[in-house]
Structure 1
Amino acid sequence: MNLWVSSPFLFVGLVLSVSALTPEECKPLITPLSLTERSTLHKTVNFIMGFTDSDAYNHILKFTESSWMRLSPSASGDHELSVHQENRINGSCFGSMVNTTIEGNTLSSSVGNISSTFQLLPSCDGCLLFNVHSHARDLNKFLRLVNLTADFPEEIRTHAVYLMAEKTTLTDADVEHFKKQASCLGFNREPDFSYDPKHELCKEGEGHTVTLT
Structure 2
Amino acid sequence: MALSAACFLLTLASLSAASAPDCQELVQPYMPEEPEQLFGKWIYVMGAGDPVTYHKALEYMKSSWIELHPTSDNLTVTLRWGDYCFNRCIFGNVNATVSGLTATFRKNLSDHKGHLLQTCSGCLLWTDYFRNMDVTGRYIMQFTRTGKIDPKDVEHFKTQAKCLNFPENFHSYDSTAGQGAFSSFSSEQWSNHHKVALLFCEVKKCMHEYNL
Residue 29 of structure 2 is aligned to residue 65 of structure 1: no
Higher relative contact order (CA 8 A, sep 6+): 1
Residue 103 of structure 2 is aligned to residue 103 of structure 1: no
* Unpaired runs of at least 5, structure 2: 1-19, 200-206, 208-212
RMSD of Structure 2 on Structure 1 (CA): 2.3
Q: CA–CA distance in 1 between the matches of 2:175 and 2:38?
A: 24
Which of the numbers 176, 180, 196 marks the counterpart of 2:159? Answer: 180
Q: What whole-Å deviation, never above 9, does each CA across 1:42-65 have from its counterpart, x for those lacking one?
A: 131011111111344234312110
Give 1:24 shift. Answer: 6.5
Helix, strand or coil for the counterpart of 2:166? Answer: coil
Which of the numbers 196, 208, 212 marks the counterpart of 2:174? Answer: 196
What is residue 6 of structure 2 aligned with on the other side? none
Number of aligned residue pairs: give it. Answer: 171
Alpha carbons of 1:188 and 1:86: their partners in 2 closer, same or farther (altered >3 Å)?
closer
Residue 147 of structure 2 is aligned to residue 168 of structure 1: yes
Q: What whole-Å deviation, never above 9, does each CA across 1:171-194 have from its counterpart, x for those lacking one?
A: 110100110111111125110x21
Helix, strand or coil for the counterpart of 2:74? Answer: strand
Higher helix fraction: Structure 1 or Structure 2? 2
Q: What is the TM-score with the length of structure 1 in the denominator?
A: 0.73
Which of the numbers 108, 112, 126 marks the counterpart of 1:116? Answer: 112
Q: CA–CA distance in 1 between the matches of 2:151 and 2:108?
A: 38
Paired letter, 1:210: L
* Unpaired runs of at least 5, structure 1: 1-22, 138-154
Alpha carbons of 1:27 and 1:55: their partners in 2 closer, same or farther (altered >3 Å)?
closer
Give 1:197 shift. Answer: 4.1
Q: Does the 8 A contact of 2:43 with 2:175 survive in 1?
A: no
Helix, strand or coil for the counterpart of 2:75? Answer: strand
Q: Does the 8 A contact of 1:69 with 1:85 survive in 2?
A: yes
Q: What is the TM-score with the length of structure 2 in the denominator?
A: 0.73
Which of the numbers 11, 35, 41 marks the counterpart of 1:44? Answer: 41
What is residue 74 of structure 1 aligned with on the other side? 71
Q: Does the 8 A contact of 1:35 with 1:105 survive in 2?
A: no
Q: Which moved more, 1:110-119 or 1:93-102?
A: 110-119
**Displacement over 2 Å in runs of 4+:** 34-38, 54-60, 202-212
